[in-house]
Amino acid sequence: MKVLITGGGGFLGYRLAQAIAARGSLTGRDGTAQKVAGISLLDTAFPANVDARFKCITGDLSAPGVIDQALDRDTDAVFHLAAVVSGGAEADFDLGMRVNLDGTRMLLEACRKLAAPPRLVFASSVAAFGGDLPPVLDDSTTPNPQTSYGMQKVVGEYLVTDYTRKGFIDGRSLRLPTIVVRPGKPNLAASSFASGIIREPLNGEPSALPVPDTTGVWLLSPGKVIDAFIHAHELPNSAWGVNRVVNLPGITVTVREMLAALGRVAGAATAARVTYQPDERIQKIVKTWPAGFRTDRALALGFKADSDFEDVVREYVKDQGLRI
Amino acid sequence: MKVLITGGGGFLGYRLAQAIAARGSLTGRDGTAQKVAGISLLDTAFPANVDARFKCITGDLSAPGVIDQALDRDTDAVFHLAAVVSGGAEADFDLGMRVNLDGTRMLLEACRKLAAPPRLVFASSVAAFGGDLPPVLDDSTTPNPQTSYGMQKVVGEYLVTDYTRKGFIDGRSLRLPTIVVRPGKPNLAASSFASGIIREPLNGEPSALPVPDTTGVWLLSPGKVIDAFIHAHELPNSAWGVNRVVNLPGITVTVREMLAALGRVAGAATAARVTYQPDERIQKIVKTWPAGFRTDRALALGFKADSDFEDVVREYVKDQGLRI
């Protein structure tokens, strides 16, 4: 069992690699557990001191030859997480098209040429939805993205589904909620604040909130999304049928509720490090994202959400070894 | 007002060119009627004796430089009909991806570089739908194509919508029912029989029916779809809002009802020229297509269906100057 993770140098991709390595096996084409013989990570940059068990390929997914370096002829499992994030793809349309659309297509074409069709788990996004939305979305809601990033993710889903129908791959697409709390630095994602308002105060730093605190966020913790990637891979082909896309479960929390949970975990003085500094560009993107979901199909397939946001904050504190 | 029609050598594209020429004007960006100063047709082949008013560019949409020959810097209106048809794109996946997906994207990129964003009407298809469908589809039904052609059309819709949102074009996508009766020869479209079972008997020839006569077809006549293309162009930007795609209205007719109408128009002996010759490949594709629709949004926007199938047959007989 050989595994490739695109975006494997990023926070989620690297954590997924560690989780698969710790697990030691994944389900193969024949439905039995197969020992993981190798994990390749493709990304433009990697953390310092990468685990020596991982083979790292440094490069742009959409640059000629890079994917060929990352895929072996007998790669069995591909987790496709690499992407230019929402704010980045909106600011630079051509870059988003090249990496998010062309890069995905190049990866699918390379998978098609392997010895046998690999299982492929594609990280799509709740940014697929937008426009005139019902208050609560469900599995029948039609994607109508209001960002180029969301459009590129939806197009990726349709490609994954058709490549699967044609038998070129065995694909499964997951629409990820906003992942909170991400460690590290703020990034260009319009949702970056949702982690920043927890992470920075816990580090003793101020944090700017670009949206009103009544804003609802549909979110999932890093731990649960890693579980979801692996669960999506492990489900048999027959569990998916002709519909290869699923909205992952999550919880809806307003910014105000997030800050209250932070206060309960780390004290009111910590939560008070967040100040409202309106940013119209961010607000314009975030307000197109839905906050309320029914995810019956995902729950029936065995995907799981977090229990509440206080647990999400406590998980982050524990993962980071913070003292509060 | 300069106009480009891709697929302009095909039956619908050429008929659209004639209709626009006869009309003499289209609505410009400022909302006023503008005299049509030129109509360019891009296609791989053209009818003999093309009307001298049309500028014909012979080439493959997806070949380098071809689109640039077809677009002027001040082109105002683009009707994008060129495509590899459903059966063709299913038989040759790479060809369908190149023409239907890459070709559409190249056209949109070329439009983005024009002096001002053109209005663009994209011919999408009812083949967008498939999989686990309700008996009657409506404007909220999520596309889940079960052919590569359908996938490529849906991806084209998402591209047209995002290019519009970004202000690169002013796009509108129409999901066409099966167009019946097409003149000429059978083609590789899986729906080719729906015209063949009317056209061939009227020409005194036998016709093979590849699907059971209980098969329902969601259809629109050539005359009405030409009206729809022009109407889609003429509607103001504001009529579309953030949703740039519409399911065109049509009528649902079973093959049995189609043959009964043919019998009433041309006699039972004519209808008897159709014989059932099951074709599994065609059946497999056609059975994924929906037959029942509610098209509230299209009707509210002013699009119109045919009154009944007998009228469709009579229109064809009249258009072709047939004696029956």
Q: What is the mean pLDDT of chain A?
A: 96
Residue A189 is predicted with a pLDDT of: 84
What average pLDDT does the segment A68-75 reach? 97
Q: Is the ipTM of this complex over 0.90?
A: yes
Question: Residue A234: which pLDDT band, with cuts at 50, 70 and 90?
Answer: very high
Question: Residue B114: which pLDDT band, with cuts at 50, 70 and 90?
Answer: very high
Q: In the A/B pair of chains, how many CB contacts fall below 8 A?
A: 56
pTM: 0.96
The answer to whether B242 contacts A161, with C-beta atoms less than 8 Å apart, is no
**pLDDT tens digits, residue range A157-186?**
999 999 999 999 999 999 999 999 999 888
C-alpha distances in Å from residue B292, one per residue of A242, B189, B253, B302: 21, 20, 9, 20
Question: Residue B187: which pLDDT band, with cuts at 50, 70 and 90?
Answer: confident
Q: Give the span between the Cα atoms of B146 and B126, in whole angstroms.
A: 11
Q: For B23-131, list the strands marked E by DSSP.
A: 25-27, 33-35, 38-43, 54-58, 75-80, 119-125
> CB under 8 Å to B34, separation ≥6 — which residues?
B1, B25, B26, B27, B28, B76
The letter for the amino acid at A15 is R
A134 and B CB contact within 8 Å: no
Residue of B nearest to A156 (CA): B155
Class of domain B2-176+221-247: alpha beta
The helix-helix angle for B222-234 and B309-319 (nearest 10°) equals 90
A203 and B CB contact within 8 Å: no
Q: Which of B94, B151, B173, B284 to mutate to test the interface with A (most CBs of A within 10 A)?
A: B151
Catalytic residue, from B14, B149, B163, B316: name it.
B149
Nearest to A213 by CA among A142, A152, A154, A277: A277
Residue A25 is predicted with a pLDDT of: 98
Handedness of CA B170, B173, B179, B184 (dihedral sign): positive
Residue A58 is predicted with a pLDDT of: 97
Residue B293 is predicted with a pLDDT of: 94
B17, B54 Cβ separation under 8 angstroms: yes
Residue B27 is predicted with a pLDDT of: 97
Write down the CATH superfamily of domain A2-176+222-247: NAD(P)-binding Rossmann-like Domain (3.40.50.720)
The structure tokens listed for A193 are: 């604040």
The answer to whether A151 contacts B162, with C-beta atoms less than 8 Å apart, is yes
Residue A285 is predicted with a pLDDT of: 81
B257, B50 Cβ separation under 8 angstroms: no
What average pLDDT does the segment A300-308 reach? 97
**pLDDT tens digits, residue range A134-152?**
889 999 999 999 999 999 9
A54, A40 Cβ separation under 8 angstroms: yes
B154, B163 Cβ separation under 8 angstroms: no
B12 and A CB contact within 8 Å: no
By Cβ distance, the residue of B140, B155, B165 closest to A142 is B140
**pLDDT tens digits, residue range B194-213?**
999 999 999 999 999 999 99
Is B149 a known active-site residue?
yes
- The SS3 call for residue A287 is coil
A276, A201 Cβ separation under 8 angstroms: no
